[in-house]
Chain A
């Protein structure tokens, strides 16, 4: 069985034709996951008991078209699972077992998905994909010296899961997709319930989908999207048959290129070239490329950092060693808080939260936090106006290729330089997709498209059109 190239459609075909059974496929995938774990540290938790229970509970018909039954998947470790610990990549949550499943987990289990394990993440999903997890760095299966972003992307690129769900608050999911040569969709804010997502910035964070192709993302999105009464920010817009929406020609589609995109800080030549190449391909397919002006776009990563840090300061205040998580013993309540949080949280997160406390303090509330929220309005308006003119906005996903793991020994900045192009979609709640490019060169990168709210289908259509004829040699394990 060639794991690396498998897609949901192919596994369904194998089930249908009797080429494999649930038991065979699931045990092979789990064995492979263990190997990949040894090599790349993609997972925080791989639990064979949990895995076997999930497999045993599958009662769905296998091999149906568009079915997710019997399909192995990985979850970012800030998505709550009953009976399987959820660590958020943090020491403070080392042994935390949530009493409830995230809404997306219930939906996946109901569909018969095999949850193979919990993928490594930056602590609480905050950081710029260079790895700030208490559970160590993951390595990129294309090149062990560079970061894969999050562990879920690593698991998919190394063929241990067919898709993954992970959080995206400033671009982490899309950046991970770009680094690993897979696709990553951050849906519209409210498209997928955040109930059970341990987010650090509730106005920015959204659960997204990582997979190798548009078909797979379409199936997973159709399964996980929709209104959830437990998350008031989830919206009840109808969930289309995304699988049908990905078909069709791109002719007539209008794609905007930001006027001064080349001025983005730390833009690498390789990234620039592959972006231009992708634009050429779109032109060949009849897409109209239009230059657009989004003057405030380059402020979005700073604005996102300020809003994200303030929300995180507040949102992670419940990690206080009282009701759950680790506690550092101390005789006095507040000393216990300080000791617990200081020992339980990582250095990046501590700086980030401290910055959040500062940006929301009386002295800086107006000049930093409120100003950032006002800039957010400005950025949203500029994007909305642009999206009246064009169907989507194209940028590179990340201005550079996956950073080397050695360089991540350095202190990460609280404004991630990787977020330059990705964070605007989080500020505005717009859907955005990272399309893999340069996969043949073994230093993959990403091509990002940002679309109108609830037009995930159109983004997937472009992804689908661009992936045809790409014969990818996935890394072998």
Chain B
């Protein structure tokens, strides 16, 4: 029997606010344990939460970027359960009225656009962190750090529109790109500022009824999300093929073992008894504020990509790559305004720039080359001052130390030789020194011309204008 997987994702994203959602403690990552805590985020008796306006703004911004409807009235609700990383005995979350609902993200699956619907996006507080002493299984106690407790999060819940692990990866990447564009989060999975759980079930192909689902947790990279989903699909298929039932449960992805195990506990809460927190009064998001946030949204990847195709005439592929991060796209945009040949600029981006960024593992934000310098370089080629080949070497220099191309060209004497008399002299020398290939060419071996051009370039250390060399050689050997 063939099975069809049904996958929904729940993604938690920490917001890049200065302070926590309900108190003024800093959210800086990596601080000394418990150095960013106060009575509110420690849940000390008598303290009161006060909502951070920017956290709300960021949640609305993210929801708008994901094409959600924005709620006009919301409450902050208590989700009650006991756990060591939860200071108050409840987590404050938007249980009844999420900030955003009914959104979507379009992903590109093998050249086709597929729409993944967003069920909801809601704002909530993060928990603290448990630091295990040695091996978690053997440890007699755990240490608790509440620095992360109260850091604002949005949880994004998709509809079960994802069909396989590859789509899950594509969706996560696209989501991350969009969120990075909006600037609400740094989306670092390795630091836990982006976390993903997956709800997975399978059903016979063509069936309308979903199978029992498992919730998969603890996947700490895009790669482990993919692996975890694949493992779970295989595991569930085996169970169904042997005519057994999948147990609906929460499962834990073990990265080193490459498998999932059930998380069973008699202490797991089954009933969260959610109700509005009387200490955090309701929030009415007025239309003007939402409009303001909407207007301040940057151009998002899909719009930008469409513009690059339409306005710059780029191929879809180029446009997709160039808009993969906001910084890269902005860099490109700026270069094009300085050197208005979009396709040439794109070729340089797709080839030289991204090649070097990847090889040297440098982020575009740390790149020493500026759009102005890159445009200057392209102008030098355009004017014939340097050859395209030389330009590549110049670019490497620019990438290394951020120098202006003009300065490099002058310093190293790389200016292209376009003087006919000078070139004729070199050509003559080469013809004289290579009677064999000259004969070959005259005898009809067209290939021999390439060798002779190469010799001219060698003599001039690559500075000869290749078009002119071709012409002069051709005339000479007629």
Contacts and interface: CB of A to CB of B under 8 A. Distances in A.
| Touching chains A and B, CB distance < 8 Å | yes
B271 interface: yes
Greatest chain A CB density within 10 A among B88, B146, B277, B278 is at B278
B48 A317 contact: no
B51 interface: yes
B80 interface: yes
A323 B42 contact: yes
B44 to A, nearest CB: 6
Contacts of B146: 323
Contacts of A314: 78, 80, 89-90, 273, 275
Greatest chain B CB density within 10 A among A197, A198, A230, A322 is at A322
Interface in B269-296: 271, 273, 275, 277-281
Interface string B21-51: 0000000000000000001001111111111
B279 A317 contact: no
A198 B45 contact: yes
A318 B84 CA distance: 10
Interface string A92-108: 01001011101000000
Interface residues of B, number: 31
B144 interface: yes
Given A202-B279, A232-B279, A360-B275, A317 B88 contact: yes
A311 B278 contact: yes
B42 A317 contact: no
A324 B47 CA distance: 14
B90 A317 contact: yes
Interface in A309-351: 310-311, 313-314, 316-320, 322-324, 331, 333-334, 337
A229 B89 contact: no
Contact of B48 (A98, A232, A316): A232
B273 A203 contact: no
A93 B44 CA distance: 12
A5 to B, nearest CB: 34
Contact of A334 (B43, B89, B267, B273): B267
A361 B271 contact: yes
A88 interface: yes
B45 A230 contact: no
A364 to B, nearest CB: 10
B87 interface: yes
Given A318-B88, A322-B144, A196 B46 contact: yes
A319 B44 CA distance: 9
A323 B44 contact: yes
B45 A100 contact: no
B46 A98 contact: yes
A194 B89 CA distance: 20
A322 B48 contact: no
A86 B46 CA distance: 11
Contact of B82 (A310, A311, A334, A369): A334
Nearest to A336: B84
Contact of B45 (A98, A229, A334, A369): A98
**Size band of the interface chain A makes with B:** 35 or more
Contacts of B281: 232-233
Given A314-B80, A314-B90, A334-B82, A203 B278 contact: yes
B48 A195 contact: yes
A310 B275 contact: yes
Contacts of A311: 278
Contacts of A318: 43-45, 87-89
A365 interface: yes
Given A232-B51, A314-B89, A318-B88, A102 B80 contact: no
A362 interface: yes
Contacts of A319: 45
Greatest chain A CB density within 10 A among B48, B267, B275, B277 is at B48
A67 to B, nearest CB: 27
A57 B88 CA distance: 35
B45 A88 contact: yes
Contact of B44 (A79, A98, A233, A331): A98
Contacts of B278: 202-203, 233, 311
A428 B280 CA distance: 18
Interface string A348-380: 000000000100111001000100000000000
A394 interface: no
Please classify the interface of chain A as helix (H, G, I), strand (E, B), loop, or mixed, using the class held by over half of its residues. loop
Interface string A193-214: 0111110001100000000000
A231 B273 CA distance: 24
Contact of A317 (B39, B89, B140, B277): B89
A142 to B, nearest CB: 32
Contacts of B78: 314
Interface in A112-168: none
B48 A231 contact: yes
B84 A333 contact: yes
A299 B43 CA distance: 33
Contacts of A279: none
Nearest to A199: B46
A361 B48 contact: no
A194 B80 CA distance: 22
Interface string A25-65: 00000000000000000000000000000000000000000
A80 interface: yes
Contacts of B90: 314, 317
A320 B50 contact: no
B273 A361 contact: yes
Contacts of A98: 39, 44-46
Nearest to A361: B271
A438 to B, nearest CB: 36
A337 B83 CA distance: 9
A79 B46 CA distance: 8
Contacts of B51: 232
Interface string A222-233: 000000011111
Contacts of A360: 80, 273, 275
Contacts of B44: 98-99, 318, 323-324
A373 to B, nearest CB: 9
Given A313-B80, A322-B144, A337-B82, A229 B50 contact: yes
A100 B267 CA distance: 34
Contacts of A194: 48
A79 B45 CA distance: 10
A313 B78 CA distance: 11
6 contacts: A197-B46, A203-B278, A233-B278, A324-B45, A360-B273, A361-B273
Interface of B: 39, 42-51, 78, 80, 82, 84, 87-90, 140, 144, 146, 267, 271, 273, 275, 277-281
Given A314-B273, A331-B140, 6 more contacts: A194-B48, A233-B281, A310-B273, A314-B78, A323-B87, A362-B273
Interface of A: 79-80, 86, 88, 93, 96, 98-100, 102, 194-198, 202-203, 229-233, 310-311, 313-314, 316-320, 322-324, 331, 333-334, 337, 357, 360-362, 365, 369
For the complex of A and B, list the 6 residue pairs with the smallest distance between their C-beta atoms, beginning with the closest: A317-B89, A203-B278, A360-B273, A198-B45, A318-B43, A202-B278
